[in-house]
């Protein structure tokens, strides 16, 4: 195992984030934390390598990786003590944990396998493993100015790509071809890729909220549902629009207007201090009053940032209080099996006084 000690000042924003984590560690009476999630690792240190783990103590930040990422670690996280593992095993990780003389090591139980826990628990004794669910994810919920800027960029790329695809559309193209074209247009504009696998659903397939693009061909006068996002500089966007070639059938026009009303009422409800439940309620009450409550079968939205779904969940019964800096989606929908579905989604920033809609695509596009 190759090691190199580098003693450099931790730059912002990582110094602030590491300090926040250390405050959480102190509050939970742990003197070490083992970061296992890749996006938690990136948010905390700036290191992008897919083979990585981070050990944080009150005085140390140790980056565990391998030789493939030797140079990347020096460039991206030069302030961390780099450990190049020859073997990516719990026993190897335990050796570094013992060096730090940690007594109580926190970890996210959702991210550690049973077998790794068994070995670590044995190898790090007399230290103890302490389950700390979601220690970093809540810290990622409120975005700083740079994160918001990156999300704006990702939204801009997604919107430009979508407009290009809409101009390209013609009867006969398949859902799968259209989804591939959307990815191509986003990458051409600078995206790393998709925030998540794009949903492109034509006609009755649009009644499936998470439809997988297939071989159905585009026809006139039927709904075309797009749910997509661009991943740019590690941050994502998430939008949904329903468009059509020709005219929209009367039954779908009716639910389109209901969903638009629910979308607008939920967006207008967003502000600091309101609960995620109440934002969801603002949308759900409109759809229930119209008699389609059972056909709105998912949450109104979710937080977003480094990944497509982050804290908070904008759903029924969610007590999370919205705070300035949170970026959430608002995406109510109604789905008529065998006929088609309507979902409208925008990305919304919680500000100090209310909200800002970050997306700019018009809701109605034909």
223-266 pLDDT per residue, tens: 999 999 999 999 999 999 999 999 888 999 999 999 999 999 99
SS3 track for 301-352: EEECCCCCCEEEEECCCCCCECCCCEEEEECCEEEECCCEEEECEEEEEECC
Mean pLDDT value of segment 299-303: 98
Is pLDDT of 5 > 80?
no
**Residue 295, exposed/middle/buried by CB under 10 A (0-12, 13-18, 19+)?**
middle
Q: Are 335 and 208 in contact (CB under 8 A)?
A: yes
pLDDT at 1: 46
Mean pLDDT value of segment 303-330: 97
Please give the radius of gyration of the chain, using alpha carbons only, rounded to the nearest integer.
Answer: 23
pLDDT at 365: 58
Non-local CB neighbours of 311 within 8 Å, separated by 6+ positions: 134, 137, 138, 140, 141, 303, 320
Of the CA atoms within 13 Å of residue 341, those in its CB half-sphere come to: 25
Q: At 21, is the secondary structure helix, strand, or coil?
A: helix
Q: How confident is the model at residue 329 (pLDDT cuts 50, 70, 90)?
A: very high
Distance of CA 168 to the CA centre of its chain: 29
| 204/100 same-domain check | no
Mean pLDDT value of segment 147-176: 98
| 199/345 same-domain check | yes
Mean pLDDT value of segment 179-206: 98
**Segments forming the whole domain that contains residue 241:** 145-357
Rounded CA-CA distance 355/263 in Å is 14
Q: Are 85 and 115 in contact (CB under 8 A)?
A: no
Q: Are 263 and 348 in contact (CB under 8 A)?
A: no
Non-local CB neighbours of 213 within 8 Å, separated by 6+ positions: 174, 175, 176, 178, 179, 198, 199, 200, 201
| 235/117 same-domain check | no
**Cis peptide leading into 220, omega within 30 of 0?**
no
**Residue 42: how many CB atoms within 10 A of its CB?**
19
For 98-125, the pLDDT digits (tens) are 999 999 999 999 999 999 999 999 999 9
Rounded CA-CA distance 316/94 in Å is 41
Residue 69 is given by DSSP the state G
| 309/209 same-domain check | yes
Q: Are 314 and 280 in contact (CB under 8 A)?
A: yes
Last residue of a domain, one of 139, 163, 181: 139
Mean pLDDT value of segment 320-326: 98
Residue 35, domain CATH: 3.40.350.10
Is pLDDT of 341 > 90?
yes
| 104/185 same-domain check | no
**Residue 125: how many CB atoms within 10 A of its CB?**
11
| 198/289 same-domain check | yes
**Number of structural domains found in the chain:** 2
List beta partners, residue 65. Answer: 84
**Residue 337: how many CB atoms within 10 A of its CB?**
10
pLDDT at 364: 77
Q: Are 262 and 286 in contact (CB under 8 A)?
A: yes
Is pLDDT of 92 > 50?
yes
Determine, yes or no, domain membership for 319: yes
> Taking phi first (over 0 means left), then psi (-120 to 50 degrees means alpha), and beta for anything else, what does residue 135 get?
alpha
Determine, yes or no, domain membership for 363: no
Strands laid side by side in the 223-228 sheet: 199-202, 223-228, 239-244
Q: How confident is the model at residue 182 (pLDDT cuts 50, 70, 90)?
A: very high
Q: How confident is the model at residue 134 (pLDDT cuts 50, 70, 90)?
A: confident
**Residue 190, exposed/middle/buried by CB under 10 A (0-12, 13-18, 19+)?**
middle
| 89/193 same-domain check | no
Residue 239, domain CATH: 3.90.230.10
| 115/187 same-domain check | no
pLDDT at 7: 53
Percentage of the chain surpassing pLDDT 90?
Answer: 92
- Main-chain dihedrals φ then ψ at residue 208, nearest 5 degrees: -95, 110
């Amino acid at each position: 195992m190759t090691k190199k000690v580098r003693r450099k000042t931790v730059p912002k924003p990582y110094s602030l984030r590491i300090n926040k984590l250390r405050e959480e560690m102190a509050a939970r009476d742990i003197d070490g934390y083992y970061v296992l999630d890749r996006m938690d690792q990136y948010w905390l240190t700036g290191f992008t390598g897919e083979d990585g783990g981070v050990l944080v103590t009150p005085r140390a930040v140790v980056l565990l990786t391998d030789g493939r990422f030797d140079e990347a670690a020096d460039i991206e996280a030069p302030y961390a003590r780099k450990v190049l593992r020859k073997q990516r095993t719990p026993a190897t990780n335990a050796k570094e944990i013992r060096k730090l003389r940690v007594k109580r090591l926190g970890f996210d139980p959702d991210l550690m396998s049973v077998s790794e826990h068994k070995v670590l628990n044995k190898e790090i004794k007399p230290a103890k493993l302490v389950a700390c669910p979601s220690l970093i994810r809540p810290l990622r919920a409120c975005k700083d100015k740079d994160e918001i800027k990156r999300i704006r960029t990702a939204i801009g790329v997604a919107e430009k790509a979508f407009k290009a695809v809409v101009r390209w559309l013609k009867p006969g193209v398949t859902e799968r071809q259209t989804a591939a074209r959307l990815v191509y247009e986003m990458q051409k504009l600078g995206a790393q890729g998709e925030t998540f696998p794009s949903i492109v659903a034509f006609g009755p397939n649009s009644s499936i909220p998470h439809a997988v693009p297939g071989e159905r061909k585009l026809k006139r006068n039927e709904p075309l549902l797009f749910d997509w996002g661009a991943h740019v500089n590690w941050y994502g966007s998430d939008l949904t629009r329903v468009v059509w070639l020709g005219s929209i059938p009367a039954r779908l026009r009716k639910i389109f207007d209901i969903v638009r009303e629910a979308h607008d009422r939920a967006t207008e409800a967003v502000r600091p201090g309101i609960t995620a439940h109440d934002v969801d309620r603002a949308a759900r009450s409109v759809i229930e009053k119209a008699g389609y409550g059972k056909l709105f079968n998912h949450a109104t939205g979710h937080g977003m940032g480094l990944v497509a779904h982050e804290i908070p969940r904008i759903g029924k019964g969610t007590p999370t209080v919205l705070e300035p800096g949170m970026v959430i989606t608002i995406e109510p929908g109604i789905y008529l099996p065998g006929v088609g579905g309507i979902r409208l989604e925008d990305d919304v920033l919680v500000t100090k006084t209310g909200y800002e809609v970050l997306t700019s695509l018009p809701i109605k596009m034909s």
